[in-house]
């Protein structure tokens, strides 16, 4: 990355930089990309402030709860019908795929 590649910079919650809506640059003076962001700032540019995401609505929380209940029901069904055996060495992908087929 060179300074001319920078279109936008925004602060993150952890006071790092989010450059061009694509990648994070740590707040580390030893980091080469951090130095390029500092050069961009030195040219008179200003990073956008951090904007926290909106708080979830009651509907969002309810939808998440319903989805969690579906996942738990699918897991219980899989355990009851022998599809999953406790203590077996399933990969996370196998578990996710098995549960997705039941949702």
Does 94 map to a domain? yes
pLDDT, one tens digit per residue, over 48-91 is: 999 999 999 999 999 999 999 988 888 888 888 877 777 778 78
pLDDT of the residue at 44: 96
Does 53 map to a domain? no
Q: Are residues 9 and 36 in the same domain?
A: yes
Which residues, other chains included, contact 31 with Cβ-Cβ below 8 Å and sequence gap of 6+?
Answer: 25
pLDDT band of 98, cuts 50, 70, 90:
confident
CB-side exposure of 70: number of CA atoms within 13 Å?
Answer: 12
Query: How many folded domains does the chain comprise?
Result: 2
Q: Are residues 34 and 63 in the same domain?
A: no
Does 47 map to a domain? no
Q: Are residues 68 and 94 in the same domain?
A: yes
Structural domain boundaries enclosing 12: 3-42
């Amino acid at each position: 990355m060179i300074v001319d590649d920078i279109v936008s910079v925004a602060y993150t919650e952890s006071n790092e930089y989010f450059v061009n809506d694509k990648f994070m640059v740590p707040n580390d003076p030893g980091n080469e990309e951090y130095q390029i962001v500092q050069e961009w700032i030195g040219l008179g540019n200003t990073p956008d402030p951090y904007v926290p995401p909106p708080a979830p609505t009651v509907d969002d929380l309810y939808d998440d709860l319903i989805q969690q209940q579906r996942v738990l029901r699918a897991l219980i069904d899989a355990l009851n019908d022998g599809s999953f055996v406790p203590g077996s060495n399933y990969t996370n992908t196998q578990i996710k795929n098995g549960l997705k087929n039941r949702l």
